[in-house]
C-alpha cells in the first residue's frame, strides 16, 4: 500500500450531459499535484440524470468504489486506504460525503445538519434560527396552500424544487395562478439528479444584485477564494434569468457586508470544513441568502478563477487537507485580479431546428474573447432559453483591461437576438 496521503472523492462527474465541463475534472489533479493519491466513490450504481454520459478520468484514482447501499461494505473498502479527507464532487454528493467523513473519523461537517445543507427549505429555517435575515418561504406540495401564501405575500415570488442545482425548475411567478402552474410542472417531473420532486419551496422575490461567494473552511476558519457578480435578464417570459457572470475584487463596495453575512450562514449550517458556494443577494435591506452548496462552485468557476487570479477554491481546499499550516498562514489574505474574466451565454428567443449561427465569427474577433462552447450544434433542436440548461452557446472573455471585457459583454448582447439564429424552414 502506498505511503502517500489518500483523499476520497465522491461522485466526481467531469462533464454534464449539456456539454459544459464540470469543476469535478479538476479536483483529483489538485490533490495529485501536492503528492496525494485519490480514491473515487460513486454513491449509487447509476449516475444521476445530468451526468449519465460522464466518464471520469480513472487514471487519477487508486481505486473506484461503487456504493451499492451497504454502508459497512463501502467503509471497509475505504478503510484500507486510510483516507485523510472526503471531498464532495458536486451537489449530488454532499449528503453522502457528510456520512462517509463522519463515519471514517476524518474532518467532517457531520450529519446533524446534512438536511439543511441539501434541502433548501431546511436551509432557510436553519439560517433563520441563527437570527440571520432571510426571505420568507414556504415548503409545500399543496396547490391551495401555495396560492394562499402567494396572495398573503403579494407581488412576485420564486418557486423551485426543494433539491436540485443550477437553474433547474426555478420559476418567477407574479400571480398565484402562475405559482400553481410552476408547482405542477416541478412536481410532475424529476430534478437534474433523477430525484422525484415531491415538494417545492416558494420564497419571496428578493430585489437586488446577486453575488456568488466561494469559500474554503478549515476548523471553522472561513476563507474567501473568489466573488462573482451576476447579470440577470428578462427574456422569454423569465423575469430574472442568469445570463452572465464576472469576477469582482474581494474589497469592492459592500463586499465586506456580503462576506460577513456569508460566513455567518456557513456557521449556521455547520460548515466548518471544505468548500462552499454561497449565493447572496444584496438587497436595499442588506444581504439575503439565495442558497448554499456545501461543495466546490459548479459551472467550472474554480478553473475560471485560476485564470483570473492565479488560484481558486481548488488550491485552498488542497492546502486545507494536505498543508493545513500553509492554510493558516495565508488565512484572511485578499486575492488580486490579474486578468478580468467573465462568461456570458447567448439567450435564444426562437426555437426549431438550427441551421447555423450567424454571428459566431464576429464574437470570436472581440478583443477580450477567450473561449466558446457551442452547446446546441447546427442540425439539432434549438430551444428558447429559459434557464442554464437551455443555453445554446456560452462565451468567456478575459483581458488585463476590465473595460474591454465590459465592452465585449455589451457587444455580445447586441449581436444576440432573432438574427443570430438561422433555422431550418
Question: What confidence tens digit (pLDDT) does each residue in 83-138 have?
Answer: 999 999 998 899 999 999 999 999 999 999 999 998 888 999 999 999 999 999 99
Question: What confidence tens digit (pLDDT) does each residue in 39-87 have?
Answer: 999 998 887 766 666 678 889 999 999 999 999 999 999 999 999 999 9
Q: Tell me what pLDDT residue 50 has.
A: 64
Q: Tell me what pLDDT residue 166 has.
A: 58
Let me know: does 5 contact 80? Beta carbons within 8 Å. Answer: no
C-alpha cell at 36: 496525494
Q: Tell me what pLDDT residue 322 has.
A: 98
207-336 has which fold? D-amino Acid Aminotransferase; Chain A, domain 1 (3.30.470)
Q: Tell me what pLDDT residue 73 has.
A: 97
- Write down the mean pLDDT value for the chain: 92
User: Is the pLDDT assigned to residue 165 strictly greater than 70?
Assistant: no
Please give the Cα distance from 260 to 282 (Å, whole number).
Answer: 12
Provide the sign of the torsion angle of the four alpha carbons 288, 293, 299, 300, taken in this order: positive
Q: Tell me what pLDDT residue 1 has.
A: 65
Degrees to nearest 5, angle at CA 346 with 344 and 348: 150
| Extents of the domains making up the chain | 6-108, 136-204, 207-336, 341-423
| Statement: 341-423 belongs to CATH 3.90.1170.30 | yes
Closest-CA residue to 218 (of 294, 321, 99, 296): 321
Pick the CATH number of 6-108 from 3.90.1300.10, 3.40.50.20, 3.30.365.10, 3.40.50.720: 3.40.50.20
Q: Tell me what pLDDT residue 221 has.
A: 98
* Maximum mean pLDDT: which of 175-189, 192-206, 327-341: 327-341
* pLDDT bracket for residue 168 (50, 70, 90): low
User: Is the pLDDT assigned to residue 268 strictly greater than 90?
Assistant: yes
Say if residue 251 is exposed, middle or buried (CB neighbours under 10 Å; 0-12, 13-18, 19+).
exposed
* pLDDT bracket for residue 208 (50, 70, 90): very high
Please give the Cα distance from 26 to 56 (Å, whole number).
Answer: 11
Please state the rounded mean pLDDT for residues 302-329. 97
Torsion of CA 19, 32, 5, 97, to 10 degrees: -10
Between 166 and 326, whose confidence is greater? 326
As its CATH architecture, domain 136-204 has: 2-Layer Sandwich (3.30)
Q: Tell me what pLDDT residue 16 has.
A: 61
Amino acid at each position: 500500500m502506498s505511503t502517500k496521503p489518500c483523499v476520497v472523492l465522491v461522485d466526481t462527474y467531469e462533464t454534464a450531459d449539456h456539454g459544459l465541463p464540470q469543476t469535478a475534472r479538476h479536483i483529483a489533479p489538485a490533490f495529485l499535484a501536492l503528492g496525494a493519491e485519490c480514491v473515487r466513490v460513486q454513491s449509487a450504481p447509476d449516475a444521476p440524470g445530468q451526468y449519465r454520459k460522464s466518464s471520469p478520468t480513472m487514471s487519477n484514482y487508486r481505486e473506484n468504489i461503487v456504493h451499492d447501499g451497504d454502508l459497512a461494505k463501502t467503509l471497509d473498502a475505504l478503510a484500507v486506504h486510510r483516507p485523510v479527507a472526503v471531498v464532495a464532487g458536486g451537489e449530488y454528493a454532499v449528503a453522502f460525503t457528510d456520512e462517509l467523513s463522519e463515519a471514517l473519523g476524518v474532518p467532517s461537517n457531520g450529519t446533524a445538519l446534512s438536511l439543511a445543507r441539501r434541502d433548501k427549505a431546511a436551509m432557510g429555517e436553519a439560517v433563520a434560527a441563527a437570527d440571520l435575515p432571510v426571505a420568507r418561504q414556504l415548503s409545500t406540495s399543496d396547490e391551495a396552500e401555495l396560492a394562499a401564501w402567494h396572495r398573503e405575500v403579494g407581488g412576485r415570488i420564486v418557486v423551485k424544487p426543494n433539491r436540485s442545482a443550477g437553474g433547474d425548475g426555478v420559476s418567477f411567478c407574479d400571480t398565484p395562478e402562475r405559482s400553481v402552474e410552476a408547482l405542477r410542472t416541478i412536481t410532475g417531473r424529476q430534478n437534474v439528479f433523477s430525484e422525484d420532486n415531491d415538494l417545492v419551496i416558494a420564497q419571496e422575490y428578493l430585489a437586488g444584485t446577486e453575488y456568488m461567494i466561494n469559500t474554503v473552511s478549515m476548523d471553522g476558519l472561513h476563507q474567501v477564494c473568489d466573488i462573482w457578480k451576476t447579470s440577470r435578464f428578462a427574456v422569454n417570459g423569465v423575469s430574472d434569468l442568469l445570463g452572465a457572470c464576472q469576477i469582482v475584487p474581494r474589497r469592492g463596495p459592500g463586499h465586506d457586508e456580503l462576506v460577513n453575512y456569508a460566513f455567518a450562514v456557513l456557521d449556521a449550517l455547520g460548515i466548518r470544513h471544505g468548500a462552499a458556494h454561497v449565493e447572496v443577494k444584496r438587497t436595499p435591506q442588506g444581504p439575503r441568502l439565495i442558497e448554499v452548496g456545501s461543495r466546490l462552485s459548479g459551472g467550472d468557476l474554480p478553473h475560471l478563477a485560476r485564470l483570473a487570479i492565479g488560484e481558486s477554491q481548488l488550491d485552498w481546499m488542497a492546502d486545507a487537507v494536505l498543508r493545513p499550516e500553509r492554510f493558516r498562514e495565508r488565512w484572511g489574505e485578499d486575492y488580486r485580479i490579474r486578468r478580468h474574466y467573465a462568461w456570458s451565454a447567448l439567450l435564444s428567443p426562437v426555437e426549431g431546428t438550427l441551421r447555423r449561427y450567424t454571428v459566431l465569427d464576429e464574437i470570436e474577433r472581440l478583443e477580450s474573447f477567450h473561449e466558446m462552447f457551442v452547446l446546441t450544434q447546427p442540425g439539432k433542436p434549438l430551444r428558447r432559453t429559459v434557464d442554464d440548461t437551455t443555453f445554446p452557446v456560452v462565451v468567456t472573455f478575459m483581458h488585463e483591461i476590465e473595460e474591454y471585457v465590459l465592452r465585449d459583454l455589451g457587444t455580445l448582447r447586441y449581436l444576440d437576438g432573432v438574427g443570430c439564429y438561422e433555422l431550418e424552414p
